Structure 1
Amino acid sequence: MLSHKTQGPDYAADGEPQASLQSVERAITVLKILARTGGAGVSEVAEEMGVHRSTISRLLRVLEARGMAQQNSGRGKYQLGLGILQLANSIPVRLNLVREARPVLEALAAQTGETVNLAVLSSNYVVNVDEVMGPSTLATQDWIGRLTPIHATSSGKVFLAAMDAAERSRVLGETGMPPTTPRTITSRQDLEAQLVEVAEAGYATVYGELELGLNGIATPVFGHSGTVLGAISVSGPEFRFDPRKSRTLVRELKHSAREVSRRMGHAEA
């Protein structure tokens, strides 16, 4: 008499079901796509991953239920949820950085009237981990959790200027220097020349390089060992915000960064 065995799931070498591992890998890929694009629809994600639309829809619903993704009702697209930021903030150094910087960011936004961001470097990209809107802010763009290109942001230039030549070559070699606007610097030689100025001046600027009509300025935040932990930036619309024309702005920004650095244990020489 023949016995019939119920077909069970396939297992990986470590004993985990293959289907479970595949779901985890797909969920992580979905989150990375949302981070890179700033927001995407079910069809867009499904097409990029080469997976059926219904599969992606189920994954996004689960991620949304866990707070890892949220749907923009206005556009019908998904973006990263606040749960991602909560996970990132569980990393002790970044948690401390956000906590210590918050009152300083609020004071700087009140002084300048513009949007102030705190950014860190993550996988060769710049990610804003906190943001304070100034009283003059017109737009409601939320940059928290969104990955932005390192060569096209003022904070990114701060990070690049702090790297040695080998590390900078590695990062730019991996990310490339694609244009996000007609003003984006795509020449390595031009960027290197600007980074020398950034290192000397202690701050970096952008003029419509990430978004047309948006200018920004950033300066580094140091940790106790003297390494760059993050960057504080101030941004605003070009019709009223030109960092080069305000020495007061540069002074206030540097003062704020020094205060956060001090709170993080950095002692100036």
Structure 2
Amino acid sequence: MSNGKQPESVSSVLKTFAILQALSTQKDIGISELAQKLMMSKSTVYRFLQTMKTLGYVDQDGESENYSLTLKLFELGSSALEYVDLVDIADIEMRRISELTMEALHLGALDGDSIIYIHKIDSKYNLRMQSRIGRRNPLYSTAIGKVLLAERSEEEVRDILADVAFAKSTELTHENIDSLLSELPKVKEQGYGEDNEEQEVGLRCLAVPVYDRFNCVVAGLSISLPTIRFTDEKKETYISELHAAAGRISEKLGCRNYPHKG
């Protein structure tokens, strides 16, 4: 029969995290103040702190003898974020937009001087597109490519595209790097990129950026549809949906403040 008390192991875990949480709210603190704040005995707090110090999670100042957190917890959190599966996270959001719009969705990332599609959901209208997972496309003629470049410096963009020959897929494709660079500030300011029949005649595409925990663009999320179904009203709605989805994806990647509102 239970006496209502927690097992000692559970109690120890709770005390450990209580101490860590208290340390996270104050740069450094002494044992007496910490014990009082947590309503624990000084001997208990001291014992736990010494163990945490041995494991490298807590540091002690040589003069004041106060305790503070080290960066080891940050390292653990960063390691966990490194293994977050971007495709699995994005798939949930992409399927939601697919059900809403019935159009094709793509997730693309920068690879060298091109974009590479890392995930795709086909249009429910049986739209035939030239894209597939693993396929590469130019940065200069795709909406995803533009959002991947928009927040980089001109010098970096020129370096990425230094060896790229601009091929005109359609009459509307950018002819050179200067032409592309003239569009990128607008892409950055408005928070989305457009492919207005630049990659394929009769096809429009809208893309928004996905950010990591350092607020760097790591991918682009896009929706594609034929010009016959494209309207300004749909454009506004789709951009809003893409931003909302990219915001949630970015948050799960550790981004604390997605810069574009859905």
Which residue in the other structure is 1:4 paired with?
A: none
Which residue in the other structure is 1:126 paired with?
A: 115
| Deviation, structure 1 residue 136 | 2.9
Which residue in the other structure is 1:222 paired with?
A: 211
Which residue in the other structure is 1:70 paired with?
A: none
Which residue in the other structure is 1:234 paired with?
A: 223
Q: Tell me the matched-pair count.
A: 178
- The answer (yes or no) to whether the contact 2:105–2:120 under 8 Å persists in 1 is yes
- 2:245 is matched with which residue: 235, 253, 256? 256
- The answer (yes or no) to whether the contact 2:84–2:253 under 8 Å persists in 1 is no
Which residue in the other structure is 1:108 paired with?
A: 97
| Correspondence 1:166 to 2:155 | yes
Amino acid of the structure 1 residue aligned with 2:95: E
| Deviation, structure 1 residue 165 | 1.5
SS at match of 2:229: coil
Which residue in the other structure is 1:205 paired with?
A: 194
CA distance in 2, matches of 1:228, 1:253: 15
- The answer (yes or no) to whether the contact 1:114–1:133 under 8 Å persists in 2 is yes
Quick one: structure 1 residues 113 and 94, their matched pair in 2 at CA, closer, same or farther if it must change by over 3 Å? farther
CA distance in 2, matches of 1:94, 1:126: 22
- The answer (yes or no) to whether the contact 1:222–1:229 under 8 Å persists in 2 is yes
- Using the size of structure 2 for normalisation, the TM-score is 0.63
Quick one: structure 1 residues 146 and 258, their matched pair in 2 at CA, closer, same or farther if it must change by over 3 Å? same
| Correspondence 1:138 to 2:138 | no
Shift >4 Å, 4+ stretches: 92-95, 242-245
CA distance in 1, matches of 2:213, 2:126: 33
**CA RMSD for the aligned pairs?**
2.0
| Deviation, structure 1 residue 188 | 3.1
Specify every segment of 5 or more residues in structure 2 that has no aligned partner in the other structure, as ranges. Answer: 1-80
| Deviation, structure 1 residue 166 | 1.2
Quick one: structure 1 residues 206 and 142, their matched pair in 2 at CA, closer, same or farther if it must change by over 3 Å? closer
Q: How does 1:1-269 map to 2 (within 5 A)?
A: 96-139=85-128, 141-242=130-231, 246-268=235-257
CA distance in 2, matches of 1:100, 1:245: 25
- The answer (yes or no) to whether the contact 1:203–1:219 under 8 Å persists in 2 is yes
- The answer (yes or no) to whether the contact 1:114–1:137 under 8 Å persists in 2 is no
Amino acid of the structure 2 residue aligned with 1:145: G
Amino acid of the structure 1 residue aligned with 2:94: L
SS at match of 1:246: helix
For each residue in 1:224-267, what CA deviation from the matched residue of structure 2 results, as whole angstroms up to 9, or x when unmatched? 11111100000011111246753111111111110110111111
SS at match of 1:175: coil
Q: Max radius of gyration: which structure? A: 2
CA distance in 2, matches of 1:95, 1:195: 29
Between 215-224 and 184-193, the greater mean CA deviation after superposition: 184-193
SS at match of 1:224: coil
CA distance in 2, matches of 1:142, 1:194: 24
- The answer (yes or no) to whether the contact 1:206–1:217 under 8 Å persists in 2 is yes
Amino acid of the structure 2 residue aligned with 1:103: I
| Deviation, structure 1 residue 140 | 5.9
| Deviation, structure 1 residue 149 | 0.5
SS at match of 2:246: helix
